[in-house]
Every structure is written in structure tokens, then in C-alpha cells.
Amino acid sequence: MPASTPATQALDLLSVPYRLFEHSYVPESLEQAARERGQAPEQIIRSILFRYEKGNFFLTLMAGPGQISWRKLRSHLGVSRISMATEAQVLAVTGYAVGTVSPLGLPRPVRILADGSVFKPEEVSFGCGVRGMAIIMKSADLKHVLGKIEAGQFC
């Protein structure tokens, strides 16, 4: 198990409690990941990077199987077009490969939009930067670490 990732280093620096969970094999579905972590699918937070305007990016946080409403995102941002970032853009902007993205430990500031569903469960899990591993922590601690993020209903 890796000693640290940018995401765990950020939490360690802030003395925020968390635990790492390592799957035996990389999960094939959200449901499988949740089951192995002893969680409900709604407790797994997906981090999805979008591009808008000229080279601007934002990261959305969505709980479990919820679907993002592109219309609501465009309206919230006041833009007419958004697109999902390519794998290369995800790596360049977040420092993480697709499927491992964490909202923590990003190499540069990125606007983060969180759906209201993210903070409903007491405990959540999300990518830590390593495929097949996750950070598990209290959602209140995640909200505190992320600071004043924009929250709304994007599903």
C-alpha cells in the first residue's frame, strides 16, 4: 500500500482523520465498490472534471449513482457549453488518472462544484489517486477541508 498520495498528504497536513481502503481487485462497478467498502452506493463520491470556455475547468462531486444535469450545470455557471475533460486533460489538470481523481491534493486551484447529495451520508469515500484504493472519511470533515465550495443540486 502506498504510504501517501497528494490527497492523503493534504489530509495529513491538516490533521484530518481518514482511512485508506484497498480493494483486492479494482472494482468493476460502483455497487461492487460500495459493497466491498461496507457502504451504500450513495456514499461513494465521484469526481468528474468538465471543461468550459477557453481552457477553464471545474470539478464536480456527485454522490453514487446520481446523474449530473448538464443543463443545471450550464445554468449555474452561466455558460452555454460544457464538455467532459479528456483523459489527458484530467491528468494534466488534476494530476490523477481517470478513475482515481480526488478533490484533494490538486496541483493547481480548480473550481469545485458539489451536488447537495455529497454531504448527506455521515461517511463517504472517494478516489485517493491510486486505482483500487479509496479514502474513507466523515462527510463533515470533507466539507470542512474543501472550504467554501459551491454546492447545489446538479442531478
Do residues 95 and 127 lie in contact, with contact meaning Cβ atoms separated by under 8 Å? no
pTM of the model: 0.90
Low-confidence ranges of the chain (pLDDT < 50): 1
* pLDDT value of position 66: 86
Written as one letter, the residue type at 138 is K
**CA-to-CA distance for 153 and 91, rounded, in angstroms?**
26
Fold assignment, 6-152? YbaK protein (3.90.960)
* pLDDT value of position 53: 82
* pLDDT value of position 89: 96
**CA-to-CA distance for 97 and 100, rounded, in angstroms?**
6
Written as one letter, the residue type at 4 is S
* pLDDT value of position 46: 95
What phi, psi does 110 have (nearest 5°)? -135, 135
Domain layout of the chain by residue ranges: 6-152
